[in-house]
């Protein structure tokens, strides 16, 4: 039994385990459980708080988590790449008069 298996077997519930431990142990969590989803969402919000805007609610963040099977690391990568792309093409300013079509 390696260190990650031991750590995982010692964890009685998700509340005592950070998402890093979950990913390192390469185990899937039961995200159908409402409490587990809430904890994962809370951790995800902390990770991406620097790019979030006031109108980004829990449903917005849950879409990213669901798209990557509630893997916080993959979800973070996906949302950051999406925001980077939206900024590059000017998606947030497309309906303003100052928008210019990229060449």
pLDDT, tens digit, 9 for 90 and up, residues 13-64: 444 455 545 554 545 555 568 888 899 999 999 999 999 999 999 999 999 9
Angstrom distance (rounded) from CA 11 to CA 95: 50
Contact of 51 with 80, CB cutoff 8 Å: yes
Query: Which of 41, 45, 99 lies closest to 91, judged by CA?
Result: 99
Residues 6 or more apart from 80 whose CB is under 8 A from it?
48, 51
pTM for this structure? 0.63
| Residue 14 DSSP one-character state | G
Residue 72 has pLDDT above 50, yes or no: yes
Angstrom distance (rounded) from CA 29 to CA 23: 9
């Amino acid at each position: 039994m390696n260190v990650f298996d031991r750590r995982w077997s010692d964890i009685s519930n998700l509340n005592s385990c950070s998402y890093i431990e979950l990913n390192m142990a390469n185990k899937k969590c039961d995200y159908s459980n409402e409490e587990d989803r809430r904890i994962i969402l809370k951790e995800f919000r902390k990770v991406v708080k620097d790019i979030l805007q006031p109108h980004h609610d829990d449903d917005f963040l849950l879409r990213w988590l669901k798209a990557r099977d509630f893997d916080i690391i993959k979800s973070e990568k996906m949302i950051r790449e999406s925001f980077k792309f939206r900024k590059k093409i000017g998606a947030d300013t497309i309906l303003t008069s100052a928008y210019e079509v990229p060449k």
